[in-house]
Each structure stands twice: as structure tokens, then as C-alpha cells.
């Protein structure tokens, strides 16, 4: 026990608890002393804490605790917050979603939730993103007396980048086990995460498609170069059905993130336009901002079933302003002029006088076609 206490002080309070489920030992890593001096909600940022395992061997994250409270509407939003567990250099991570309803309104309190065991070694990071807006968010407690800090804020749109160190520490705790029954989850690199997300996407598509067959049209084989919000602009990509066959648009995907914290993501909307070969609007589908988070990622937007054949266009209008909008990802280079930055002119979406300055941007937009109409 003496050695364990020495390790505890070195890691800023390690508490040994008994697991009621299996009688095994559970180790609590924390940097707070239980007293809250302040609280913060981070629009556009996440709450990140660095922890260390007590030795070089493999341990398993089994649960987390966050000292916080929900604010906004009386009824909990039908939404999730995100937890990222990453290794020391953030090159490998595991992402977890948990419901907002875990947190209650009112005074901050400890909220503990379990996770499927995740293997970690040495130093690792825990980051929590609540994607707060005017109508929803979570205040996370801060122990202002903790020094030196082990906590930081990180950019929500790019979790690999630290924004600034925190004065004190976030009141976030991690529970580790040395042994677990069954298999654990591993931290994944970018390639493995992409494969996992693709499998999850395919599984979800299969539930919607039934017996229908689907293919994805895309022009963005490589990663995003940057992202941008252009007030008053529509972001457009040209597509063509294979061998000029008829297809049915049923979903559009954009690589994007939401910004702004003074709006209701459920009430503020963007639009997806499907255009014919002459850029005339065929259908318009409205989608809520809540589909996007403050992290850059592929967002799937169900659309009205729309028949297309040969050349057609997909255009996104996020109705962005200075204070709220969708950052659209793009690739630098548009040699084939498949992308354009446009405006709505009567029933058509066409380049504007100011569009040329954005001609090098190939917007990261994909479209899914089925061999028959698909209804959600």
C-alpha cells in the first residue's frame, strides 16, 4: 500500500476502489481535491486532461466521472456529447458518445458513466466535447487550486490542437482496471478509425436501403486542406451518373463543422439543392445545424428522393453569417472545375461576380445514389 500511495501523490491523487461487479481493483486517476472553485462551458472547444498509468503495463479505462451540470432547456436535448481517449501524442484515439441526459440542471454534481474497456499505456489524454449552443450545454467544474495544471482547452474542430492551458484542473476523473473479462477496445490510428467509421456507415445504410443498391460519387480521395465559411455563398459540386444511367439521390455528405454558440442548432437550418445539368433547382432539402458538431467530420444529410441522369449538381447553402454557420471543408486545387462557389438566382444556382476568388477550392461534398427511390 505504501508504494501505491507514493504513486498516488506523484500522479496527483490516485484512489483505490473496489469494483462491486467482480471484486477486482479499480484505480481512480484524478487531479482535483473535490472542491470546485469555478465552472466553464466551452463553445468551440473541448475539456482535455492528461493522465498517467501507474506503471508501463497495459491498463483499461472502464469509467469516467465529470463534475458538471446541464444548462438550457428544461427537457434534456435528444443529443450526445463526445469523449475522446487518446495516447500521449494524440496519434491514436477512441471516440465515445454518451447522452446529454446523464447531466441534470442545477448545481454541479459528479456524473459517472461506464465505457466498454479501452486499453491504455503510459500517459494518455481524455477530452470531452459538449458542442454547446444557446439552448444546450454542460458546465464542467474547475478545481482552481490544482497546480501545476494537467488540463487544457483544445480546439473542437481539430482535437489534435491544444488551444491553451487551464488555470487549475478540470474535474474529470478516470477509472482504470488492471484486468478485465473479455476483450477490450484499442486506440486507433487515422486509417483504422476511417475503416471503423466506414463499416458503421455501411451498416446504417443497409438498414435504410433494404433491397436497394447504392453507390457513392465523390471527388475527394485525399484529406481536407482547410475549411471556410463564406457569407451568402452556396458550395457546389458537379457529378455524373455512371454510363449515363438513371439514379436516385437519397443522401448527401459534407465534410464540415458547426460554429457559433448563440443559436439553437435544432431551429437553425441549411439547405441541400439537387440541380439538373443546367443548374436549375430540382429539389431542396432542409437540414438542421444539429447534424453537425464543432468537430470536422463527414455529416450525412438525408435528402428528398431525386431522380438524376447524366450530369447533375449538388449545392449546399448553410445560410452562414459572421456569428453562426457551417465551416465547409475543401481541397486546394480544382483543375477540372468540378466545384464552384455560387449564389441562388431565381430557380438556378450559378457562379456570382465574386466567385472567381474561390475557384481553387474543391468543396468536400459526396452524394449517394440508389437504383430506386429510398424513403427514410
In DSSP terms, which residues pair with 61 in a beta bridge?
118, 176
d(CA 52, CA 29) in angstroms, rounded, equals: 8
Q: Alpha carbon of 324 to those of 269, 320, 330: distances in Å?
A: 11, 6, 19
pLDDT at 2 over 50: no
d(CA 96, CA 94) in angstroms, rounded, equals: 7
Q: Which of 1, 56, 58, 8 is nearest to 33 (CA)?
A: 8
pTM for the complete prediction?
0.77
Q: Where are the beta strands (DSSP E) in 53-150?
A: 59-72, 80-87, 93-99, 109-120, 123-129, 136-143
d(CA 96, CA 116) in angstroms, rounded, equals: 9
Mean pLDDT in residue range 94-118: 96
d(CA 142, CA 234) in angstroms, rounded, equals: 41
pLDDT at 334 over 60: yes
pLDDT at 14 over 50: no
Cα angle vertex 188, ends 81, 200, to 5°?
60
Domain ranges of the chain: 2-188, 191-370
User: Which tens digit of pLDDT belongs to each residue from 150-204?
Assistant: 999 887 666 666 677 899 999 999 999 998 888 899 999 989 988 998 899 999 9
Contact call for residues 136 and 70 (beta carbons, < 8 A): yes
The reported pLDDT for the residue numbered 3 is 42
Query: Is residue 221 very low, low, confident or very high in pLDDT (cuts 50, 70, 90)?
Result: low
Q: Which residues of 296-323 are buried (b: 16+ CB within 10 A; e: fewer)?
A: bebbebbbbbbebeeebbbbbbbebeee
CATH placement of domain 191-370: 2.60.120
Contact call for residues 100 and 70 (beta carbons, < 8 A): yes
The reported pLDDT for the residue numbered 350 is 96
Mean pLDDT in residue range 12-21: 42
Amino acid at each position: 500500500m505504501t508504494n501505491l500511495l507514493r504513486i498516488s501523490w506523484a500522479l496527483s491523487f490516485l484512489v483505490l476502489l473496489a469494483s462491486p461487479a467482480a471484486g477486482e481493483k479499480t484505480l481512480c486517476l484524478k487531479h482535483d481535491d473535490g472542491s470546485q472553485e469555478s465552472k466553464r462551458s466551452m463553445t468551440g472547444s473541448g475539456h482535455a486532461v492528461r493522465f498517467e498509468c501507474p506503471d508501463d503495463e497495459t491498463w483499461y479505462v472502464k469509467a469516467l466521472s465529470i463534475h458538471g451540470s446541464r444548462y438550457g432547456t428544461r427537457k434534456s436535448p435528444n443529443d450526445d456529447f463526445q469523449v475522446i481517449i487518446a495516447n500521449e501524442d494524440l496519434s491514436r484515439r477512441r471516440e465515445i458518445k454518451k447522452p446529454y441526459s446523464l447531466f441534470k440542471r442545477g448545481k454541479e454534481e459528479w456524473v459517472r458513466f461506464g465505457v466498454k474497456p479501452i486499453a491504455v499505456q503510459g500517459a494518455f489524454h481524455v477530452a470531452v466535447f459538449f458542442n454547446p449552443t444557446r439552448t444546450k450545454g454542460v458546465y464542467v467544474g474547475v478545481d482552481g487550486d490544482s497546480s501545476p495544471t494537467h488540463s487544457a482547452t483544445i480546439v473542437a474542430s481539430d482535437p489534435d490542437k491544444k488551444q491553451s492551458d487551464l488555470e487549475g484542473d478540470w474535474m474529470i476523473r478516470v477509472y482504470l482496471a488492471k484486468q478485465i473479462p473479455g476483450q477490450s477496445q484499442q486506440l486507433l490510428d487515422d486509417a483504422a478509425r476511417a475503416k471503423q467509421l466506414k463499416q458503421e456507415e455501411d451498416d446504417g445504410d443497409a438498414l435504410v436501403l433494404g433491397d436497394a443498391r447504392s453507390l457513392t460519387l465523390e471527388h475527394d480521395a485525399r484529406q481536407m486542406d482547410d475549411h471556410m465559411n463564406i457569407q451568402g455563398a452556396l458550395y457546389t459540386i458537379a457529378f455524373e451518373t455512371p454510363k449515363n444511367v438513371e439514379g436516385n439521390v437519397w443522401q448527401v455528405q459534407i465534410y464540415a463543422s458547426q460554429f457559433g454558440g448563440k443559436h439553437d442548432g435544432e431551429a437553425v437550418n441549411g439547405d441541400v439543392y439537387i440541380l439538373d445539368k443546367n443548374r436549375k433547382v430540382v429539389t431542396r432539402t432542409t437540414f438542421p445545424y444539429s447534424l453537425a458538431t464543432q468537430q470536422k467530420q463527414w455529416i450525412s444529410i438525408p435528402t428528398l428522393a431525386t431522380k438524376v441522369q447524366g450530369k447533375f449538381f449538388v449545392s449546399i447553402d448553410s445560410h452562414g453569417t459572421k456569428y453562426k454557420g457551417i465551416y465547409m471543408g475543401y481541397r486546394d486545387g480544382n483543375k477540372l472545375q468540378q466545384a464552384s462557389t455560387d449564389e441562388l438566382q431565381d430557380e438556378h444556382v450559378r457562379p456570382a461576380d465574386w466567385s472567381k476568388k474561390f475557384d481553387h477550392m474543391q468543396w468536400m461534398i459526396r452524394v449517394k445514389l440508389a437504383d430506386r427511390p429510398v424513403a427514410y
